[in-house]
Amino acid sequence: MKVAFEINGKPVEIDVEPRLSLADCLRDVLGLTGTHLGCEHGVCGACTVIVDGEAVRSCLTLAVQSDGRKIVTVEGLSDDERLSPLQAAFRRNHALQCGFCTPGMVTTAHALLSEEPDADAERVREVLSGNICRCTGYMPIVEAVLEARAAYADGEDGS
Amino acid sequence: MTAPNRLIGSPLERVEDLRLLRGRGQFVADINREGQLHAVILRSSVAHGRLQNIDTGAALQLAGVHAILTAVDLGTPVPVLPIRLQPLPELEPFRQPMLAHDRVRYVGEPLAVIVAESPAIAEDALDLIDVDIESLPAITDRTQAEAGDTILFEEHGSNVSMQWNAVKGDADAAFAKADYTRRETFRVQRHAALFMEPRGFVAEWDAEAERLTVWGAAKVAFANRKILAATMGLPLDRIDMLEGDVGGSFGSRGEFYPEDFLIPFAARHLGRPIKWVEDRREHLMAANHARQIECDVEIAATRDGKILGLRGRNWTDNGAYIRTNGSIAPRNAAQFMSGAYDIEHIALTSFSLTTNKTPTGTYRGPGRFEPDFVRERLIDLMAKDLGLDPLEVRRRNLVPADKMPYPLATMTPFESVTELDSGDNHALLDRCLDEFGWAEKIKLQGKCIDGRYHGVSVGCFIEGGAAGPSEDARIVLETDGTFSVYLGSSGVGQGIETIMGQIAGDALEVPFERVRVHCGSTGFVAEGYGSFHSRSTVMGGSAIVMAAEALKAKLKNVAARVLGCAPEAVMLDADGARDGSGNAVSYADLSDQPVEAEARFENKKYTYAYGSLAAHVAVDPKTGQVDILDVASTKDVGRMINPATLNGQSVGSIVQGLGGALLEEFVYDSDGQLLTGTLADYLLPTASDFPNIRSTVIELAPSPHNPLGAKGAGEGEIIPVGGVIANAVAQALANFGVEPMALPLSPPNVWRLIQDAQSKQGVSS
Distance CA B303, CA B171 (A): 17
- Does A41 sit within 8 Å of B679, measured CB to CB? yes
- Does A75 sit within 8 Å of B21, measured CB to CB? no
B87 is a domain residue: yes
DSSP letter at B198 equals: P
Tell me which residue in B26, B197, B691 faces A125 most closely, judged by beta carbons: B691
At residue B706 the predicted structure's pLDDT band, cuts being 50, 70 and 90, is very high
The pLDDT assigned to B3 comes to 47
Residue of B nearest to A44 (CA): B679
Distance CA B450, CA B423 (A): 42
Tell whether the model's pLDDT for residue B151 goes beyond 50.
Answer: yes
Residue that terminates a domain, selected from B286, B310, B333: B286
Check if the beta carbon of residue B393 is closer than 8 Å to that of residue B383. yes
Tell whether the model's pLDDT for residue B4 goes beyond 70.
Answer: no
B365 is a domain residue: yes
Task: State the nearest Cα–Cα gap between A71 and chain B, in angstroms.
Answer: 15
The pLDDT assigned to B216 comes to 97
Tens-digit pLDDT profile for residues B349-394: 999 999 999 999 999 999 999 999 999 999 999 999 999 999 999 9
Check if the beta carbon of residue B648 is closer than 8 Å to that of residue B716. no
Comparing A2-76 with A85-153, is the CATH topology the same? Answer: no
Q: Are residues B708 and B681 in the same domain?
A: yes
Check if the beta carbon of residue A1 is closer than 8 Å to that of residue A18. yes
Report the 10 Å Cβ neighbour count for A1.
Answer: 12
Check if the beta carbon of residue B500 is closer than 8 Å to that of residue B516. no
| Cα dihedral: A100, A103, A104, A107 (round 10) | 170
- Does B494 sit within 8 Å of A137, measured CB to CB? no
Report how many domains make up chain B.
Answer: 4
Radius of gyration of chain B measured on its C-alpha atoms: 27
Kind plus residue range of the DSSP H or E element containing B145 = helix B142-147
Tens-digit pLDDT profile for residues A8-21: 999 999 999 999 99
Check if the beta carbon of residue B305 is closer than 8 Å to that of residue B379. no
Interface test with B, best of A135, A136, A143 (most B CBs within 10 A): A135
Domain boundaries, position B384: 138-192+289-393+405-414
- Does A96 sit within 8 Å of B30, measured CB to CB? no
B205 is a domain residue: yes
B447 is a domain residue: yes
Strand partners, B183: B298
Q: Are residues B569 and B715 in the same domain?
A: no
The pLDDT assigned to B2 comes to 43
DSSP letter at B526 equals: S
B5 is a domain residue: no
Q: Are residues B121 and B236 in the same domain?
A: yes
Q: Are residues B371 and B305 in the same domain?
A: yes
At residue B1 the predicted structure's pLDDT band, cuts being 50, 70 and 90, is very low
Interface test with A, best of B14, B19, B21, B646 (most A CBs within 10 A): B21
Q: Are residues B106 and B165 in the same domain?
A: no
Task: State the nearest Cα–Cα gap between A4 and chain B, in angstroms.
Answer: 23
Helix/strand/coil (H, E, C) string of B212-224? EEEECCCCCHHHH
Tell whether the model's pLDDT for residue B228 goes beyond 70.
Answer: yes
Residue of A nearest to B198 (CA): A38
Residue of B nearest to A49 (CA): B23
CA-wise closest residue to A56 among A68, A72, A39: A72
How many angstroms separate the first and last alpha carbons of chain A? 31
Q: Are residues B349 and B436 in the same domain?
A: no
Instruction: Sort out which chain B residues have CB atoms less than 8 A from A103's CB and list them.
Output: 23
Distance CA A24, CA A6 (A): 16
The pLDDT assigned to B763 comes to 57
Distance CA B129, CA B481 (A): 59
Q: Are residues B145 and B174 in the same domain?
A: yes
Annotate B46-62 with b (16+ C-beta within 10 A) or e (fewer): bbbbebeebebeebeee
Given 3.40.50.2300, 3.30.565.10, 2.40.37.10, 3.10.20.30, which CATH number is that of A2-76?
3.10.20.30
Tell whether the model's pLDDT for residue A99 goes beyond 70.
Answer: yes
ipTM score: 0.98
Strand partners, B474: B486, B598
Q: For chain A, what percentages of helix, strand and coil (3-state, to nearest 5) are there?
A: 40, 15, 45
Report the 10 Å Cβ neighbour count for A52.
Answer: 13
- Does A75 sit within 8 Å of B22, measured CB to CB? yes
Q: What is the mean pLDDT of chain A?
A: 96
Instruction: Choose between B265 and B704: higher pLDDT.
Output: B265
Residue of A nearest to B249 (CA): A98
Amino acid at B444: L
Is the dihedral angle over the CA atoms B557, B559, B565, B570 positive or is it negative? negative
Q: Are residues B170 and B91 in the same domain?
A: no
Residue that terminates a domain, selected from B384, B414, B444: B414
DSSP letter at B156 equals: T
CA-wise closest residue to B538 among B574, B596, B494, B475: B494
Kind plus residue range of the DSSP H or E element containing B385 = helix B369-386
Q: For chain B, what percentages of helix, strand and coil (3-state, to nearest 5) are there?
A: 30, 25, 40
Residue that terminates a domain, selected from B286, B312, B333: B286
Distance CA B174, CA B345 (A): 7
Amino acid at A52: D
Task: State the nearest Cα–Cα gap between A67 and chain B, in angstroms.
Answer: 22
Tell whether the model's pLDDT for residue B123 goes beyond 60.
Answer: yes
- Does A83 sit within 8 Å of B18, measured CB to CB? yes
Sheet with B410-412, strands from edge to edge, namely: B180-188, B293-301, B307-317, B345-353, B160-168, B410-412
Distance CA B97, CA B84 (A): 15
At residue B468 the predicted structure's pLDDT band, cuts being 50, 70 and 90, is confident
Check if the beta carbon of residue B630 is closer than 8 Å to that of residue B651. no
What is the dotted CATH code of the domain comprising A85-153? 1.10.150.120
Interface test with A, best of B17, B18, B121, B250 (most A CBs within 10 A): B17
DSSP letter at B399 equals: P
Bond from prior residue into B77 cis (ω within 30 degrees of 0):
yes
What count of CB pairs under 8 Å joins A to B?
A: 180
Q: Are residues B551 and B584 in the same domain?
A: yes
Sheet with A70-72, strands from edge to edge, namely: A10-15, A2-7, A70-72, A48-51, A54-57
CATH number of the domain at B49, please: 3.90.1170.50
Q: Which residues contact B722 (CB under 8 A, 6 or more apart)?
A: B188, B369, B370, B372, B373, B657, B660, B661, B743
Tell me which residue in B120, B247, B645 faces A94 most closely, judged by beta carbons: B645
The pLDDT assigned to B234 comes to 98
Q: Are residues B735 and B693 in the same domain?
A: yes
Bond from prior residue into B704 cis (ω within 30 degrees of 0):
no
Q: What is the DSSP string of B654-669?
A: HHHHHIIIII----B-
Check if the beta carbon of residue B659 is closer than 8 Å to that of residue B363. no
Tell me which residue in A35, A106, A132 faces B686 most closely, judged by beta carbons: A132
Interface test with B, best of A71, A91, A97 (most B CBs within 10 A): A97
Instruction: Sort out which chain A residues have CB atoms less than 8 A from B649's CB and list them.
Output: 97
Q: What is the DSSP string of A95-154?
A: --SS-SSHHHHHHHHHHHHHH-TT--HHHHHHHHTTS--SSS-SHHHHHHHHHHHHHHHT
Tell me which residue in B16, B651, B679 faces A137 most closely, judged by beta carbons: B651
Q: Are residues B233 and B122 in the same domain?
A: yes
At residue B765 the predicted structure's pLDDT band, cuts being 50, 70 and 90, is very low
Q: Which residues contact B173 (CB under 8 A, 6 or more apart)?
A: B345
Distance CA B388, CA B183 (A): 18
Tens-digit pLDDT profile for residues B625-682: 999 999 999 999 999 999 999 999 999 999 999 999 999 999 999 999 999 999 999 9
Tens-digit pLDDT profile for residues B26-57: 999 999 999 999 999 999 999 999 999 999 99
- Does B280 sit within 8 Å of A132, measured CB to CB? no
Q: Where are the domains of chain A?
A: 2-76, 85-153
Tell me which residue in A41, A83, A101 faces B196 most closely, judged by beta carbons: A101
- Residues B571, B575, B580: CA angle, nearest 5 degrees: 30
Average pLDDT over residues B472-485: 98
Tens-digit pLDDT profile for residues B713-759: 999 999 999 999 999 999 999 999 999 999 999 999 999 999 999 99
Tell me which residue in A41, A73, A136 faces B678 most closely, judged by beta carbons: A41
Tell whether the model's pLDDT for residue B257 goes beyond 60.
Answer: yes
Q: Are residues B84 and B70 in the same domain?
A: yes
